[in-house]
Amino acid sequence: MDFKELTYVMALARYQNITRAAQSLYLSQPALTRFLQRLESTLGQPLFNRLGNRLMLTYAGKIYVAKAQEILMMKKELDETMQDIARSHCGHLRIGLSVFRASSFLAGVLPAFSRQYPNVQIVIEENDSVALESALCSGDLDLAFFPLPAKRPEIVTEILRSEELLLMLPPHDPIAGCAQTRPDFRFPWLDLALLKNHRFILQKKDQRTRQIIDKLFHDNNFVPERILEIQNIEVAVSLTVAGYGCSFTRDVHLSQLSVAGAAPQCFSVGHQRTFSDYAAAYRQGMYLPDYARDFIRLVRQQLNAESDNHPKTDDHAAVQ
């Protein structure tokens, strides 16, 4: 057994197809087919069931892949440790974050990181928090960035900043005239009870922002009568600007939101300001090379810079 053999089986399990797996490994299809036949013959049992062109793991195959994954992760950690010792700083850094976050802070982080570590190749995956946690645990990602809480106990998190959740109303919604200035609130405060008949444009229930909003509603005994569920926050903002309903965003997003024409109006709601923590995450027990630590540091700096550039709260905190 060698690491190449493990890598080949992992590719077959991932793509479930000989042709696509061979392409990902830069092998010919016949060569990969012969490899699999020899390996299964040596093991004395099949690792995959053939269903047309699709490969499905057998019970033995699932055990093989699980152990192969552990071995390859251990090898990766060993390689990174040796690289750090030699101060070569050569390697790959696989990073996961949401689509919206990728557009907001990567431009401020990647150029600085590449200047410091020109020999480290960055791979970016954009997905929701649940998928990012899963990818961390499987070893497909080294770092991920998402709002807390983390759902899986094997995930370690480092809080980068706290972000306030804000309500957004359409530009000319008359309810905005009922907002109050309160000493404990940075943005004008609006009573949720006034919004009972409004349509709410909310994220899906498995998204962190939606879970925070649902808790806000529960804590304030508020039940919206009309809800439209949508995953993309930028689409939610566009619909709010168009007057279709109200939505939520985090204060850090305000400077990145692009709107055409009039801007949404932003308010604090609830008995107290609602915050969520945004964090860097990685797998427990995983060795983080110096360059991964520095990437986290650069993200923290970028988020702090964005915080300093928040729009002011004049005119009901309309997004500029």
Distance in angstroms (rounded) separating the CA atoms of residues 54 and 48: 9
Closest CA to 95 of 130, 148, 136, 149: 136
Sign of CA dihedral 144, 61, 2, 22: negative
Q: How large is the average pLDDT for residues 251-264?
A: 68
Q: What is the pTM of this model?
A: 0.65
* Statement: residue 277 has pLDDT above 50: yes
Could you tell me the pLDDT band of residue 314, with boundaries at 50, 70 and 90? very low
What pLDDT does 235 receive? 86
Q: How large is the average pLDDT for residues 294-314?
A: 75
The larger pLDDT score, comparing residue 3 to residue 160, is at: 160
Could you tell me the pLDDT band of residue 68, with boundaries at 50, 70 and 90? very high
* Statement: residue 55 has pLDDT above 70: yes
What pLDDT does 256 receive? 59
Token digits of residue 87? 């101060």
Spell out the residues 6+ positions from residue 296 whose beta carbon is closer than 8 angstroms to its own: 143, 158, 160, 280
Per-residue pLDDT of 23-36, as tens digits, reads: 999 999 999 999 99
Per-residue pLDDT of 71-102, as tens digits, reads: 988 888 888 777 776 666 778 899 999 876 77
Could you tell me the pLDDT band of residue 316, with boundaries at 50, 70 and 90? very low
What pLDDT does 252 receive? 75
Planar angle of CA 201, 207, 213, nearest 5 degrees = 55
* Statement: residue 255 has pLDDT above 80: no
What pLDDT does 309 receive? 57
Could you tell me the pLDDT band of residue 128, with boundaries at 50, 70 and 90? confident
In 124-270, alpha helices (H): 129-138, 208-219, 233-241
| Mean pLDDT of the residues in the chain | 87
Q: How large is the average pLDDT for residues 165-192?
A: 93
Percent of residues, the chain, with pLDDT higher than 90: 55
In this structure, the number of other CB atoms found within 10 A of the CB of residue 314 comes to 9
Per-residue pLDDT of 207-246, as tens digits, reads: 888 889 999 999 999 999 899 999 887 888 889 989 999 9
DSSP 8-state secondary structure symbol assigned to residue 180: B
* Statement: residue 311 has pLDDT above 70: no
The larger pLDDT score, comparing residue 107 to residue 1, is at: 107
What pLDDT does 313 receive? 45
Question: In terms of DSSP bridges, do strands 275-283 and 246-250 run parallel, antiparallel, or are they unpaired?
Answer: unpaired
What pLDDT does 156 receive? 94
Q: How large is the average pLDDT for residues 64-77?
A: 90
